[in-house]
Amino acid sequence: MADIDTKPRTGTKVQTERPRLHKVILLNDDYTPREFVVLVLKAVFRMNAGQSERVMITAHQKGACVVAVFQRDIAESKATEATDLAKSAGFPLLFTTEPEE
Ligand code: TYC
């Protein structure tokens, strides 16, 4: 018993919260060609043919699809990079971000 510390804890424990992760979301539109969406998913999010095709089809059918989850700054820069790539090619394709619950 002698070596059990029974002193009350008086120190302040600093609770560091993990930063919330953010989703990158692909939005459907009526103009961007399917092949171009797949190309952007491969180039910016390093997806393979199967993954990029599935994500594109899900957005096409449901209106939107979560592409990936990152720390906030990475999610935002990837969404911007992907949206800008489409804009440069003359397509209205949009990627947005939102925090995970
Ligand atoms: N709906 C587009 C078409 O029919 C293809 C498309 C799919 C566009 C997914 C955007 O996120 C998207 N050409």
Q: List domains and CATH numbers for the chain.
A: 30-99 (3.30.1390.10)
Tell me, in angstroms, the distance from the centre of ligand 1 to residue 58's CA: 9
CA 8/CA 66 separation, integer angstroms: 48
The confidence score (pLDDT) of residue 13 equals 74
Average confidence (pLDDT) over 20-43? 98
List the beta strands (DSSP E) in the chain: 21-27, 64-71, 94-99
Residue 44 CB-density burial (10 A; 0-12 exposed, 13-18 middle, 19+ buried):
buried
Q: Whose CA is closest to atom 13 on ligand 1?
A: 33
Query: Where does residue 60 fall: left (phi above 0), alpha (psi -120 to 50 degrees), or beta otherwise?
Result: alpha
Tell me, in angstroms, the distance from the centre of ligand 1 to residue 29's CA: 5
Higher pLDDT, 26 or 17: 26
Beta carbons within 10 angstroms of residue 31's beta carbon: 10
Give residue-wise pLDDT tens across range 81-91: 999 999 999 99
Average confidence (pLDDT) over 14-42? 94
Pocket of ligand 1 (CB under 6 A): 26-30, 32-34, 37, 56, 59-60, 93
pTM for the structure as a whole? 0.85
